Amino acid sequence: MAEQSIAAPAVRAMAADGDRSARARAVILLLSLALVLSIFLSLTSGASDASAVRVLRDWLTGAVPADAALATRDRLIVYDIRMPRVLLGVLIGAALAVSGAVMQGLFRNPLADPGLIGVSAGSSLGAVAVVVLGTTWLAPVTLAVGTLALPLAAFFGGLTVTFLLYVIATRQGRMSVATMLLAGLAIAALAMALTGVLIFMADDRQLRDLTFWQLGSLAGATWPKIGAVAPVIVLALVTMPFLSRGLNALALGEATAGHLGIPVQRLKYTAIVGVSAAVGASVAVSGGIGFIGIVVPHLLRLAIGPDNRYLLPASALLGATLLLLADAVARTIVAPAELPIGIVTAVAGAPFFLWILLCKRGIVDL
């Protein structure tokens, strides 16, 4: 009997019916491997024939390469072009997917996505305002905060929209998801209209920048840009797993989450600020990349269930992996030119989204 009681908890915990923790951990391990592989793939492939493996080997062994000029070129390509791009892809893929998962938990709805309900549009508006008005009306701001102006403006744009949504959709402590989605559509339309006004005011050079940027792209990845957004995204990504228990409880409704001991208001504010920060920073450097935030968490819920303790880290891993793969497609499919990555994610994501609506009509319960 004594023997049994010592062995029992571990065995029971694994065997408990309906407990998908073990499977979730296995999936997270697999996704980690997939991410490492796709990072390797992204570093080694590209328009040039630069060999990341050789650069890495030379760096590790300290060997002096036979052709010094070629080695220098390769090193530049790998260090200054591919590496920042891969890093940015990882950060943004993770940020978008985790933001989607958190937003869906917060609004208790699998359709909530920063891109759908106007948060991205708000971020775009902030970013476009800085691009177009940065040297005129907003000059004091850009002078004061320097290169941080763009990510900050995108962040406040996203935060403003999220806050508006929250105020409009919440009455007497209850958040109406239908109101939220409708308000999101209206706010997104308004933000896009204002963005349109700004684009109308833009000169030709700004216009081309904006168009490309609005479609979404990782092409502008540089180390300084990463330096500006990485702290924001990393902070948001590190904070959000702490919300997972609260978001799980929130699945039962706000009142019940409160009865379970969750400080619901603080949870909601933290989630909203975190999502706005992550999405705002992402939009600021890479434009609007759609569908990662809705497709990734949904796929993972099918595989490991909706427990946010596993869903959030798994979303980060799968989001990063999918965005790197999408970027690989964007870079190579029309080489030597490249496709905006937002087009790739939309072409793959939109049909998937429709498929969710067709097959899983029951779970999308407004």
Q: Can residue 136 be called a binding residue for other proteins (CB under 8 A)? A: no
- Per-residue binding string, other proteins, 302-341, x by CB under 8 A, is ---xxx----------------------------------
Q: Can residue 18 be called a binding residue for other proteins (CB under 8 A)? A: yes
Q: Can residue 24 be called a binding residue for other proteins (CB under 8 A)? A: no
- Closest CB to other proteins among 287 and 306? 306
- Closest CB to other proteins among 134 and 305? 305
| Cβ(326)–Cβ(291) below 8 Å | no
Q: Can residue 146 be called a binding residue for other proteins (CB under 8 A)? A: no
Tell me the number of residues near other proteins by CB under 8 A. 34
Residue 113: name the closest of 103, 98, 122, 121 by CA: 103
| Cβ(348)–Cβ(328) below 8 Å | no
- Least Å distance, CB 234 to other proteins, is 27
- Closest CB to other proteins among 28 and 71? 28
Q: Can residue 109 be called a binding residue for other proteins (CB under 8 A)? A: yes
Instruction: Indicate the burial class of 126 (C-beta count within 10 angstroms; 0-12, 13-18, 19 or more).
Output: buried
| Cβ(95)–Cβ(281) below 8 Å | yes
- Least Å distance, CB 8 to other proteins, is 8
- Closest CB to other proteins among 249 and 278? 249
Exposure string (b/e) for 146-175, b if CB count within 10 Å is 16 or more?
Answer: eebbbbbbbbbbbbbbbebbbebbeeeeeb
Distance, CA of 320 to CA of 11 (rounded, Å)? 34
Per CB under 8 A, the list member of 31, 262, 271, 344 interacting with other proteins is 262
Distance, CA of 218 to CA of 225 (rounded, Å)? 11
- Per-residue binding string, other proteins, 287-306, x by CB under 8 A, is --------------x---xx
Read off the amino acid at residue 251. Answer: A
- Least Å distance, CB 236 to other proteins, is 22
Q: Can residue 253 be called a binding residue for other proteins (CB under 8 A)? A: yes
- Closest CB to other proteins among 216 and 293? 293
| Cβ(183)–Cβ(165) below 8 Å | yes
What is the Cα 187 distance to its own chain's centre?
21
Span 159-188, contacts to other proteins by CB under 8 A: 172
Note the helical H segments in the chain: 2-15, 21-44, 52-61, 68-76, 83-107, 119-133, 139-145, 149-169, 177-201, 204-215, 223-239, 244-250, 254-259, 264-286, 292-304, 308-332, 341-359
Q: Can residue 101 be called a binding residue for other proteins (CB under 8 A)? A: no
Q: Can residue 260 be called a binding residue for other proteins (CB under 8 A)? A: yes
Per CB under 8 A, the list member of 7, 186, 252, 357 interacting with other proteins is 252
Residues in contact with other proteins by CB under 8 A are 9, 12-13, 16-20, 108-110, 172, 245, 248-249, 251-253, 255-256, 258-264, 301, 305-307, 362-363, 365
